[in-house]
Each structure stands twice: as structure tokens, then as C-alpha cells.
């Protein structure tokens, strides 16, 4: 079996490459390194079932031979990234999704779209089930990512309904683990790198906004099960264990034995106040739920950050 993973040199993409290689798939990893890194996949190049294409998925894609699955994970995913490259973010969600779906149609491959909890925006319903349509500001700064993913979902369903392409959509909630970029800008990598350097840990607003953090190994298992399932409609994959940003900062300072103090900065525009997945569907259909608790996952992530920071 052969799988193409776009964005395969990114944080999530690289872990997915490992998952499929460990299950004896041939893996084609595609990335243009806008936010991915060669370091994330360097250890895979000795595997005869692994190949890499340095390529922009918004262009026409050609893959030799048969192809069974396509996982479309190419996209900036951190606010600091998609605010820096807003046009590329919109293009990979629209043109990139279109090109990847076109390849799936041509090859008769099953297609899985990496969507996001950001499709729910700053939610008025809590926790968020897949049936919730969201509360998104299309012209706000975050709109370039939110609307790119919402469009990608619509495009995916159009290819499923009109061209009979086998499609799956995963809505990914906050995920963390080894290989997150140190300068990623999202809460966990920012808090860990600041704490390990004994620098002030930056919390936005009053720190009362919440996130639900899923360890990467759990997320990858959920995505794998969804791909092999018969579920066509969007499915939440995430950990419903919710925590405030202030609480998370305090946890990380304690786990790193840091001398850091917490400082507060203004809350960014359209920053969601709450975020927690309703995973009833994943439990029932995929027989999946997260197994690794936040503290255990943070310890593993901190060790990875220590190694890369030389601590």
C-alpha cells in the first residue's frame, strides 16, 4: 500500500510518516519547507519504503504508479506563520486541496483532509460537536487560516459527492509533542522554551482562555483509524481534557523546575475563549479516545525541547 503525505516534513506530518512506515506502507512525503523542516524526517531517509519530494502542492502533482491514500496536511498551522504568509495559507487550503483531490480522483485513492478546530472559530457552543457550524470572522487576521480550512472541507465534500472520491475529514484540536518548532509561537512550545531558558513566560489576556491539548501519538492513532473507517463527514480528534492558559503555564514552569515569572500581554484579535472537542463520534465510530494524559505528554515534549536546546 502506498500513501502520499503532503506537509510530511511538518510536526504532524512527520509523525504520520513514521506511523505508516511502521505499518509497512510505502510513504511519499511532500513538503516545500515553508514551515516544515528536513530535521523532522532526516531519520527516515534510510528506509527503503520512504521517499521525499520537495514540492509545492499548489502546483499540479504527479506521482508515479499506484497510490492508495493521500493525507493532505500541507499548511501553516500556527498564527505567527499564517499571519506571516497569509496568501500561501489561503492558496494551500484552496489550490493545494484542489490539486491533491485531483490526484486522488486520477489514482482512485482515498483522500483525508487535515482540517482544524479553527473551523469553529470563537465558539458559542461548548464543547464543540461536529454538527456545530462555528463562529468565524472571515475578514479577521485569523480568517486566512479558518476560511482556507472551511473552503477545503467544502471542496473535499464536493469531490466526494460529484466525483465519488472516497474522502475523510479530520478536525484536529490542539496537539503537542516532540518536533514542534521551538519558535512555533503556540502556547506549549512557547511556554516550554521560555521556561527552559528561565525567561518570562508570556500569557495572553488574563490567561482564562482554555485549550484542550492532545499528545501527538494519540492524535496520529485517531487519524489512522479515521482513514481506514467508512466515516465521510468531519470527525473531531482531540483530547477533551481542558485547561486554562494560565494553568498550563504554571504546569510547565513546575515541570521544568524553571525560575520563570509569568507576564501578561494583550489578547490577540479573535483568539478563541474556549476550545474543547466533543469526541463522542470518535469514541463510537472509531473506538478511539486519548490514552496519554497531559502531564505525561508534557514530560516527553520537555525532554525533546531540552535535547534540541542543549539543556
pLDDT of residue 125: 96
Q: For 71, phi and psi rounded to 5 degrees?
A: -110, 115
CA-based torsion, 140, 141, 146, 148: positive or negative: positive
How do residues 153-197 score in pLDDT, each as one tens digit? 999 999 999 999 999 999 999 999 999 999 998 999 999 999 999
Beta strand extents in the chain (DSSP E only): 2-6, 26-31, 50-54, 69-72, 110-116, 167-172, 175-176, 201-204, 210-212, 214-215, 235-237, 242-244, 262-265
pTM for the complete prediction? 0.97
Are 218 and 292 within 8 A, CB to CB? yes
> What is the pLDDT tens value at each position of the chain, 311 positions in all?
999 999 999 999 999 999 999 999 999 999 999 999 999 999 999 999 999 999 999 999 999 999 999 999 999 999 999 999 999 999 999 999 999 999 999 999 999 999 999 999 999 999 999 999 999 999 999 999 999 999 999 999 999 999 999 999 999 999 999 999 999 989 999 999 999 999 999 999 999 999 999 999 999 999 999 999 999 999 999 999 999 999 999 999 999 999 999 999 998 888 889 999 999 999 999 999 999 999 999 999 999 999 999 98
- Residue 304 CB contacts under 8 Å (≥ 6 apart), including other chains: 177, 178, 179
- Specify the fold of 178-211+241-275+293-309: UDP-galactose 4-epimerase; domain 1 (3.90.25)
**Distance (Å, whole) CA 178 – CA 302:** 8
Are 89 and 147 within 8 A, CB to CB? no
**Distance (Å, whole) CA 201 – CA 261:** 6
What's the burial of 284, exposed, middle or buried (CB within 10 Å: 0-12/13-18/19+)?
A: exposed
**Distance (Å, whole) CA 105 – CA 158:** 12
C-alpha cell belonging to residue 148: 482556507
pLDDT of residue 135: 95
Is 145 tagged catalytic? yes
Query: Domain spans of the chain?
Result: 2-175+214-237, 178-211+241-275+293-309
- CATH of span 2-175+214-237: 3.40.50.720
C-alpha cell belonging to residue 73: 496536511
How far are the Cα atoms of 138, 216, 223, 280 from residue 237, in angstroms, in the given order?
24, 11, 7, 10
Pick the catalytic residue: 145, 159, 215, 224?
145
How far are the Cα atoms of 110, 218, 223, 263 from residue 12, in angstroms, in the given order?
19, 11, 11, 30
Amino acid at each position: 500500500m502506498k500513501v502520499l503525505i503532503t506537509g510530511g516534513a511538518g510536526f504532524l506530518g512527520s509523525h504520520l510518516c513514521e506511523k505508516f512506515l511502521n505499518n509497512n506502507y510505502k510513504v511519499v512525503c511532500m513538503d516545500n519547507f515553508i514551515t516544515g523542516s528536513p530535521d523532522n524526517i532526516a531519520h527516515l531517509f534510510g528506509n527503503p519504503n520512504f521517499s521525499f519530494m520537495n514540492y509545492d502542492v499548489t502546483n499540479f502533482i504527479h506521482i508515479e504508479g499506484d497510490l492508495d491514500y493521500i493525507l493532505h496536511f500541507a499548511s501553516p498551522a500556527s498564527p505567527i506563520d499564517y499571519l506571516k504568509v497569509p496568501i500561501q495559507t489561503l492558496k494551500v487550503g484552496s489550490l493545494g486541496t484542489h490539486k491533491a483531490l485531483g490526484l486522488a480522483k486520477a489514482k482512485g485513492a482515498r483522500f483525508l483532509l487535515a482540517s482544524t478546530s479553527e473551523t469553529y472559530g470563537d465558539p458559542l457552543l461548548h464543547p464543540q460537536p461536529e454538527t456545530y457550524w462555528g463562529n468565524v470572522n472571515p475578514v479577521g487576521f485569523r480568517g486566512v487560516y479558518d476560511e482556507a480550512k472551511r473552503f477545503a472541507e467544502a471542496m473535499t465534500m464536493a469531490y466526494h459527492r460529484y466525483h465519488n472520491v472516497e474522502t475523510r475529514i479530520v478536525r484536529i484540536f490542539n496537539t503537542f509533542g516532540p518536533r514542534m518548532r521551538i519558535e512555533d509561537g503556540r502556547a506549549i512550545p512557547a511556554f516550554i522554551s521560555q521556561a527552559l531558558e528561565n525567561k518570562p513566560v508570556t500569557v495572553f489576556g488574563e490567561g482564562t482562555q482554555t485549550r484542550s491539548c492532545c499528545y501527538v501519538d494519540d492524535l496520529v492513532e485517531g487519524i489512522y483509524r479515521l482513514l481506514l473507517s467508512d466515516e465521510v463527514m468531519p470527525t473531531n480528534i482531540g483530547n477533551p481534557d481542558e485547561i486554562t492558559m494560565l494553568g498550563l503555564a504554571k504546569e510547565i514552569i513546575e515541570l521544568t523546575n524553571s525560575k520563570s515569572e509569568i507576564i501578561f500581554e494583550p489578547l490577540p484579535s479573535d483568539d478563541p475563549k474556549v476550545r474543547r472537542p466533543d469526541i463522542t463520534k470518535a469514541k463510537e465510530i472509531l473506538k478511539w479516545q486519548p490514552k496519554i494524559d497531559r502531564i505525561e505528554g508534557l514530560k516527553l515534549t520537555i525532554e525533546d525541547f531540552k535535547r534540541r536546546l542543549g539543556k
